[in-house]
Amino acid sequence: MRAGIPPTPAHEAISKQWVRVRFKPILLRHSPGNGSSAELLNRKRHVKNLKRDLIRKARLEKKQFSIPKRMLMARPKPSIFMDTILENRTKLWVPVLRRRRSVPIREITLKDFSFIDNPIGTLRLIREIALVEGSEISAYLHFDDDYCFDIGPYLVLSEMWSSMAPVFRGGRMLPPIQKVIWAVGLSAPLHMGLLGLRDLEDVWAFPLQRRRPPGSSNSLTRNLDPQAREKVVDRFIDEVDRWLGVGDDGLELTADGRAWIAHIIGEVLDNCERHSSPDTKDGDWSVAAFMARRVENGQPVFRCYMAFLSVGASIEESLRTCSATTREEVKRYSGRHFGQNGAPSTETLQTLFALQDGVTRDRNADSAGRGGTGLQDVIELVNILGTNSNPGRTPRLTIISGTSCIMLHGPYITGERKGGEHSARVIWCNPANSDMEPPDPAYVFDLPERFGGTLISLSFTFDPKHMIETVSG
Amino acid sequence: MAEINIGMVTGGKVRNLSGHERGLSVREELRIDELDVAKEPVRVVIPPDLYAVTTSFFQGMFAKSVKRFGSRDAFLEHYRFDGTTSVLRQIDRGISAVLTERHNIVAA
């Protein structure tokens, strides 16, 4: 801001009145005074130059900080994510014409942007984005990770972006992340121009897939017709076959390999549809995945990342419609541990309970003895697909739902049948894998902000040779 | 022997089946309740290009039947699945899911 001259609101025109007001202090400092004709003339010329400079700089400043039309038309649009993560968002949202330019321009740096390994930090960054969207005229968004370590946060951003005012005008993003964003098909939903993108080498992607808006199907045979998730599964299987062809062996999935992957994707997406919208069982979802070839310790490693996102009810909210028997058990479990040192909230304890075999919110299914096994199937597959003796390459799965975070990382990554062949698989996230002990607080904890839905983000290292041996054995 | 063909559900448009509600709808569409009490066995034809049947779908479609017959063997004696080895393994997983003990996972 220049001394003695107030800053120019971006919407104010550079009129004669404007020039007169702002030039007055300059004029007063350069009164005619005394001197020779040449000195008087020079002074006059100098004042004229100062006036010209003032107008030129003001025009430049106005151009730099002019508000685009799209921004002028921005209104606070409803967004389940942003409205959930930012309480009173509508009240906090400042009308564009009342916003003041921040000097310097506000910047948000996304570092360790991964729900898999940094859920709290990542959620805080998402919240900050929502906050800036409602208060700034423009801002920069820098993606400062060397690689994309989790596609989940980008899925969340793509869900939010269409409801956001066009505040973010660009920022830093390294080529490896640009490759992933482009390959997964997120550059369009995120309105990103990826200037550093030169090639898509070493990245294989399963592009973003979304289910139709809930309730939009008028078909009387909705559940008899081929489902969107089944079509997604078929496409994904074909894509993984293409990934497998990456190695020198030119492998393809075994029949069992196809079945396992299809099973997992189908189960997760079915869960999203049925439980994110408990009343209609017609919820939405989005899914994306990619594999990247990276060199670690001189060796090529194939890192795979998948994320499933559903907006709406959290796992715990969805479980509220369960049978009385299940309700009694979940209360027994959460009541046993709530309030103990390091134990999370009742909501998070109940979310962990929901992962166990046989637990379903569907009373009819419960009374008929069916359902509630899908999530344990997912956990089992992740272990099969990502089996790796290298500790740095073991599979990791993180569930974010409401205010709950459950990190299924080693050693808590395997469900266990504790009572024989037909006993339920359980994973209680403690060393004894026992419901009598509270979960390890490093792996099961509350989030400081609320997430408006459920996100399952997973990563594993894909070893084509090992996977073929594993799934066909 | 009575026969049902699951291919009528895929319509040749998908090669996998998933979803609990979908399984329930197919059960109703194919009148599995009536087939449960049929005297003769039922042949369940699974198209060769179908590579996946999730446990949720299977449970929706056949949980009631498995419960009625009480055991894996009795169920498979009545419903004879004709499909690839991989799919038959998944059917087995589905049966195991139905037979999985529910409740009492938390100590009293």
Written as tens digits, the pLDDT of chain B (108 aa) is 899 999 888 988 999 999 998 999 999 999 999 999 999 999 999 999 999 999 999 999 999 999 999 999 999 999 999 999 999 999 999 999 999 888 888 988
- Choose the mutation target among B5, B15, B16, B87 for the interface with A, i.e. most A CBs under 10 Å: B16
Question: Which pLDDT belongs to residue A1?
Answer: 32
Between residues A60 and B74, the one the model is more confident about: B74
Question: Which pLDDT belongs to residue A461?
Answer: 84
Q: Hunting for tokens 């009164």 — which residue is that?
A: A31
Pairing of strands A286-296, A203-210: antiparallel
Residue from the list B9, B14, B108 with its beta carbon closest to the beta carbon of A234: B14
Question: Which pLDDT belongs to residue A240?
Answer: 77
Instruction: Check CB contact under 8 Å for A226 and B108.
Output: no
Mean local confidence (pLDDT), A352-375: 88
A453: phi then psi, degrees, rounded to nearest 5: 155, -150
| Range from A91-100, A116-125, A191-200, A263-272 that averages highest in pLDDT | A116-125
Question: Which pLDDT belongs to residue A463?
Answer: 66
Residue whose C-alpha is closest to residue A228's, from B22, B69, B60: B22
Question: In this structure, what token pair is assigned to residue A41?
Answer: 């003339």
Mean local confidence (pLDDT), A465-469: 53
Q: How confident is the model at residue A15 (pLDDT cuts 50, 70, 90)?
A: low
Query: Is the model's pLDDT at A69 over the cut of 80?
Result: yes
Would an 8 Å CB–CB cutoff place A227 in contact with chain B? yes
Report chain A's mean pLDDT, rounded to a whole number.
84
Chain A positions in Cβ-Cβ contact with residue B56 (cut-off 8 Å): 266-267, 270, 371, 373-374
| Range from A4-18, A64-78, A154-168 that averages highest in pLDDT | A154-168
Instruction: Check CB contact under 8 Å for B11 and A226.
Output: yes
Alpha-carbon dihedral sign for residues A198, A199, A201, A205 = positive
Contact partners, residue A300, CB within 8 Å, separation at least 6: A293, A294
Question: Which pLDDT belongs to residue A378?
Answer: 86
Residue whose C-alpha is closest to residue A139's, from A174, A175, A101: A101
Mean local confidence (pLDDT), A87-113: 91
Would an 8 Å CB–CB cutoff place A228 in contact with chain B? no
Write the CA distances from A158 to A189, A208, A321, integer angstroms.
6, 10, 30
- Choose the mutation target among A232, A273, A370 for the interface with B, i.e. most B CBs under 10 Å: A370
Cβ pairs A/B, distance under 8 A:
161
- Cβ A347 vs Cβ A316: under 8 Å: yes
Q: How confident is the model at residue A381 (pLDDT cuts 50, 70, 90)?
A: confident
Would an 8 Å CB–CB cutoff place A241 in contact with chain B? no
Percent of chain B with pLDDT over 90: 82
Question: Which pLDDT belongs to residue A280?
Answer: 66
Q: Could you say which DSSP state residue A124 is in?
A: H
- Choose the mutation target among B20, B33, B88 for the interface with A, i.e. most A CBs under 10 Å: B20
Query: Is the model's pLDDT at A299 over the cut of 70?
Result: yes
Instruction: Check CB contact under 8 Å for B102 and A369.
Output: yes
Between residues A459 and A389, the one the model is more confident about: A459
Beta strands in A297-421 (DSSP E): 299-311, 396-408, 416-417
* Neighbouring C-alpha atoms within 13 Å toward the C-beta of A394: 12
Query: Could you give the strand order of the β-sheet that contains A299-311, starting from the edge strand earlier in sequence?
Result: A203-210, A286-296, A299-311, A444-461, A396-408
Name the B residues in 31-60 with CB < 8 Å from any A CB: 51-52, 54-57, 59-60
Question: Which pLDDT belongs to residue A473?
Answer: 37
Single-letter code of the amino acid located at A298: G
B62: phi then psi, degrees, rounded to nearest 5: -125, 0
Question: Which pLDDT belongs to residue A214?
Answer: 58
Alpha-carbon dihedral sign for residues A70, A75, A76, A80 = negative
- Structure ipTM: 0.92
Which tens digits make up the pLDDT trace of A143-153?
999 999 999 99
Which tens digits make up the pLDDT trace of A233-286?
998 888 877 776 665 556 677 788 888 888 888 888 888 877 766 666 667 788
Which tens digits make up the pLDDT trace of A157-200?
998 998 999 999 889 999 899 999 988 988 888 888 777 777 77
Percent of chain A with pLDDT over 90: 39
